[in-house]
Amino acid sequence: MHMADALISPAVGGTMWAVTAGLIGYCSKKVKDEMDDQKIPLMGVLGAFIFAAQMINFTIPVTGSSGHLGGGMILAVLLGPHIAFLTMASVLTVQSLFFADGGLLALGCNIFNLGFFPCFIAYPLIYKKIVRINTTLDKAEKNIIAGSLIAAILGLQMGAFAVVLETFFSGISELPFTTFLMLMLPIHLAIGIVEGLTTAAVVLFIWKARPEILNAASSSAPIGASSIRNVLIGISSAAVITGVALSWFASSNPDGLEWAMFKTAGIEELEAPEGVHSSLSKIQEKTAFLPDYGFKADESEKTAEIMPEQNESSWPAVDSGTSVSGVVGGFLTLTVAVGIGFIFKRRKTNE
Amino acid sequence: MSHHIVQANNLHYTYPDGTIGLSRINFKIHHGESVALVGSNGAGKSTLLLHLIGSLVSTKGDIRIGDYPLNKKNLKAVRRSAGMVFQDPDDQLFMPTVFDDVAFGPINLGLPEAEVEERVMEALDTVGISHLIRRSPHKLSGGEKRAVAIAAVIATMPDILIMDEPSSNLDPASRRRLINLLKTFTHTKIIATHDLDMALDLCERTIVLHRGEIVADGQTKELFLDEKLLAMSGLEKPLTMQGCLVCSQVKLS
Amino acid sequence: MANLQNNLLDIFYIDTLSSGGTWLHNLDPRAKVMTTLIFVGTVVSFGKYEIAMLIPFLIYPAVMLAWAELPVGYLVKKMVLLMPFAFFIGIFNPLMDREILVRISCVDVIESIGITKLIDIIGLLDIIGLKNGIGIIEISGGWISFLSIMMRFCLTVGAALILICTTGFDSVCLALQKFKVPGPFIVQLIFLYRYMFVLIDEASRMVRARQLRTFDARANMKFSMFAPMIGQLLLRTLDRAQRIHLAMCCRGFDGHIQMIRKTDFGIQETLFTAGWSFLFIIFRLYNIPVKLGEWITKFLL
């Protein structure tokens, strides 16, 4: 579920960072304004609780695989959306640093996917609508189970959908949008059911042992429709602004496959070769190249079968000379980079 | 000096669920006195301590600390003059480093930075742990944690030290160090403990609690000789007052 | 259980590494946080087929590891354990994207390192048929972008790990505070980190106690047992929060947490940040490996 730095583009990562930063700022302000100071240690320790609880596994019946507690939903139930979002954000920040879950650039995406949807969408719009305080005991229990289950599932589905969208817009992974979606949603349906059940079980446990905690939580942080609207407006404007700014920046580079090709092959670096090098090129022309179109026809037939939407015009011009330089130079750079590290290390140990 | 008196007048406390926590508690502790609060599990020691720092509010009766009655209005002033060392140092050491933690109180007193640092160094010196200043609490041993917790409290320069089980979970050497350290303090001390030997070492006066009531209040040495009282309140004679196993001689105390 | 203990030990170990005494550890955390972000930003800014230009970036982790005297083996192992997600998403690329992007002829490589003439003299080249193009290696775009993903993964994850191992979490928080990250969030991070150790320890004690009485050390617990255990842990946590709050109030807490920390963003920090950033920009703008390769092949022939 965690997005990884390796799979996202700076535009997507940057946009999500901006959005998440906005949300953290907004929640911090909210928390500062209306929170009683008792919640400061409470949210800190509950963050640590989520962290520890996620490490306790149980066996999922039938499948035999193991599951654990999610986080966002239970925090929202216990603390209300704003504090829950901050707490979830802190958990993910620590995970990104210590367990490198995702990475630093992807942190914005991860906080958004795993924090925003459960806290600001699933909790107020689903859980709260289903679970009302003033019902009979018997009914309340059923409501808590239903509310947790549905809210957790939908929250995770939205998060998974966001992962697919972010991956798709980043364009690093080749997975087609629908394939990835068909992969992610069912997986997260299963995860959502587990999370929903664990959330329900823990909420019920607390509700039976210490009902006053839940009552306090649900009454202390009312989140009205206007509040949600504000958040959504804020988020979308932040996303649009950064998105536009970053894509403007990106488009000043020729984007797309050709540009990437250009870079990989390093064609722009190849200037008119002179002397020995040019004779080398001649040799290469003579020896190394198979008739280009032969391959081209052959290959594009193959790719046409797999990916009909790709046309032949995207076929790049391959320059073997630069590829060779790339390979040789690449290995050399690698050696130099690692070598420098070793030299520093050596010097350290000699000192 | 009427200043550092801790006084409880006919204190009653009933928990929300109806259990009686404290009843008919009366005592007066004078400036500089060291008082042990002993009793079996559930006798009401912790409940009483929570009253002294204003965390629980009595259902009947009142507490005076110094010249103030303890109420919401005076809470800050009272907490400034009475410092509490908690049973679990992990609850008390919440800041990232020892320095930050010890500085927490002085900063909240509004002291300027230089003075805060001075206070921190002084408190750490007093407890003898200046070398731990940059360490994180989660990397300290149990004894070190306790020492830091004490330093954190004395850095705010309270007149009254309230301690909940200060010698629990300590190895014998750390426990002895703690006792020697506390002996040097001139604060008024109220120590809730099961460690009767420590009580004997540190406190000239002892209050015995049983089921939320004071059953004895007097000279520590005398009370600890009263075997009937001890048995009734779920206690036993301190080891130092029991007969020696080797020479089977009763040590005169 | 093993999970809990290992995670705790892992965090503890990183925590210990981060309190090392090299000059890098003592550098103002802002310099390291900034440099790491710039590094990650430049690395991910390349197109998806980029490999060659990513290689020079390896110099950053290599040098940082050496400067900070960090255990390379441990960090590499940690990184490999983290790889699966990037790997499973990335591995689809070779399946989906089969267009040939790079064609390397062995002859060229052999020629470029200068032994062709020797081979040519003996006429070996004709014999093994390399000249007719048999020794040509073709790589599809999918494999290239997959390799690129894996390289990005190593670089970005490596940078994050190096940051935490040289800086420590509290100092990272301090840097964030100086970068004007909202106060409540900083306090939240500090509390989370402080009590993470306490709670993981508490959780592992509970799990151990259960295990010892089920006589089945390997199995995860059943859901019916899991829920009350987590609930119990949660109740204890809530109680603890209350005690902590009380302890804070006893020392004059009034809703604000302030810390006195001396920070100094001096010449060393400026040089560190500016130097690395400059290097990253150079790496981003110029294709160092290809340039180097051209130069070398030119030189050899």
For the stretch B143-199, pLDDT in tens is: 899 999 999 999 988 989 999 999 888 889 889 989 999 999 888 999 999 999 999
Size of interface A-C (CB pairs under 8 A): 438
Q: Do C52 and A326 touch (CB under 8 A)?
A: yes
Distance from the Cα of C122 to chain A's closest Cα (Å) equals 17
3-class DSSP string for A133-195:
CCCCHHHHHHHHHHHHHHHHHHHHHHHHHHHHHHHHHHCCCCCCHHHHHHHHHHHHHHHHHHH
**Pair B46, B99: CB distance under 8 Å:** no
Q: Are residues A293 and A312 in the same domain?
A: yes
User: Which of A251, A283, A313 finishes a domain?
Assistant: A251
User: Which of A220, A251, A282 finishes a domain?
Assistant: A251
C170 interaction partners in chain B (CB closer than 8 Å): 96-97, 136
The ipTM value here is 0.85
Nearest CA in chain C to A307: C96
Q: Is the pLDDT of residue A284 over 60?
A: no
Q: List subunits contacting chain C, requiring 3 or more Cβ pairs under 8 Å.
A: A, B
DSSP letter, residue B156: T
User: What is the rounded distance in angstroms from the CA atom of residue C295 to the CA atom of residue A277?
Assistant: 9
Q: Are residues A208 and A186 in the same domain?
A: yes
Check residue B206 and give its pLDDT: 94
Distance from the Cα of A134 to chain C's closest Cα (Å) equals 23
Q: Average pLDDT over chain A, rounded to whole? A: 70
Distance from the Cα of C37 to chain B's closest Cα (Å) equals 24
Check residue A188 and give its pLDDT: 85
Beta strand B205-210 pairing with B213-219: antiparallel
Q: Do C15 and B137 touch (CB under 8 A)?
A: no
As given in the structure block, the two tokens for residue A28 are 């911090």
Q: Is A288 within 8 Å of chain C by CB?
A: yes
Nearest CA in chain C to A275: C298
Q: List subunits contacting chain B, requiring 3 or more Cβ pairs under 8 Å.
A: C
Check residue C87 and give its pLDDT: 80
User: What is the rounded distance in angstroms from the CA atom of residue A188 to the CA atom of residue B228?
Assistant: 67
Q: Do C164 and A97 touch (CB under 8 A)?
A: yes
Q: Is A91 within 8 Å of chain C by CB?
A: yes
| Domain count within chain A | 2
B100 interaction partners in chain C (CB closer than 8 Å): 259-260
Nearest CA in chain C to B50: C246
Check residue A339 and give its pLDDT: 78
Q: What is the pLDDT of residues B96-120, one digit of tens each?
A: 889 999 999 999 888 999 999 999 9
- Block means of pLDDT (10 residues each) for chain C, 301 residues, are 73 86 89 93 84 88 90 87 76 78 64 56 50 62 85 89 90 90 89 90 86 70 82 89 89 82 85 94 86 76 59
Of A6, A205, A289, the CB nearest to C152: A6
Size of interface B-C (CB pairs under 8 A): 78
Beta strand B60-65 pairing with B160-164: unpaired
Question: What residue numbers bound the domain in which A289 lies?
Answer: 256-350
Q: Average pLDDT over chain B, rounded to whole? A: 88
Quick one: average pLDDT of B4-27? 87
User: What is the rounded distance in angstroms from the CA atom of residue B65 to the CA atom of residue B77?
Assistant: 10
What architecture does CATH give domain B6-97+104-111+141-146+156-241?
Answer: 3-Layer(aba) Sandwich (3.40)
C249 interaction partners in chain B (CB closer than 8 Å): 55, 79
Distance from the Cα of A157 to chain C's closest Cα (Å) equals 18
Quick one: average pLDDT of A74-95? 89
User: Which of A251, A277, A296 finishes a domain?
Assistant: A251
Q: Do A104 and C36 touch (CB under 8 A)?
A: yes
Check residues A224 and B174 and name the one with the higher pLDDT. B174
Q: Do A52 and C4 touch (CB under 8 A)?
A: yes
Q: Are residues A184 and A268 in the same domain?
A: no
> CA triplet B210, B214, B217: central angle to 5 degrees?
120
Indicate the pLDDT class of residue A256, thresholds 50, 70 and 90: very low
Q: Is the pLDDT of residue A157 over 70?
A: yes
Check residues A4 and B180 and name the one with the higher pLDDT. B180
Q: Do B96 and C260 touch (CB under 8 A)?
A: no
Distance from the Cα of C275 to chain A's closest Cα (Å) equals 16
Quick one: average pLDDT of A255-260? 33
Q: Are residues A276 and A227 in the same domain?
A: no
Check residue B243 and give its pLDDT: 72
* Interfacial A residues in 312-331 facing C (CB < 8 Å): 314-316, 318, 320-330
DSSP letter, residue B159: S
Q: Are residues A163 and A300 in the same domain?
A: no
The beta-carbon contacts of A207-210 under 8 Å, at least 24 apart in sequence, are A207/A140, A207/A141, A207/A144, A209/C231, A209/C235, A210/C235, A210/C238
Helical ranges in A288-350 per DSSP H:
292-306, 320-350
Of C49, C93, C199, the CB nearest to A49: C199
Q: How far is CA B1 from CA B115, B159, B222, C275, in A?
A: 29, 13, 27, 66
Distance from the Cα of A226 to chain C's closest Cα (Å) equals 23
Check residue B214 and give its pLDDT: 92
Nearest CA in chain B to C195: B94
DSSP chain C: -HHHHHHHHHHHHHHHHHT--SHHHHS-HHHHHHHHHHHHHHHHTS-TT--GGGGGGGHHHHHHHHHHT--HHHHHHHHHHHTHHHHHHHTHHHHH---EEEEEEHHHHHHHTT-HHHHHHHTHHHHHTGGGTTTEEEEEHHHHHHHHHHHHHHHHHHHHHHHHHHH-HHHHHHHHHHTT--HHHHHHHHHHHHHHHHHHHHHHHHHHHHHHHHT-SSSPBPHHHHHHHHHHHHHHHHHHHHHHHHHHHHTT--S-----------HHHHHHHHHHHHHHHHHHHS-HHHHHHHHHHHHH-
**Based on the number of CB atoms within 10 Å of its own CB, is B242 exposed (0-12), middle (13-18) or buried (19 or more)?**
exposed
Quick one: average pLDDT of B31-48? 90
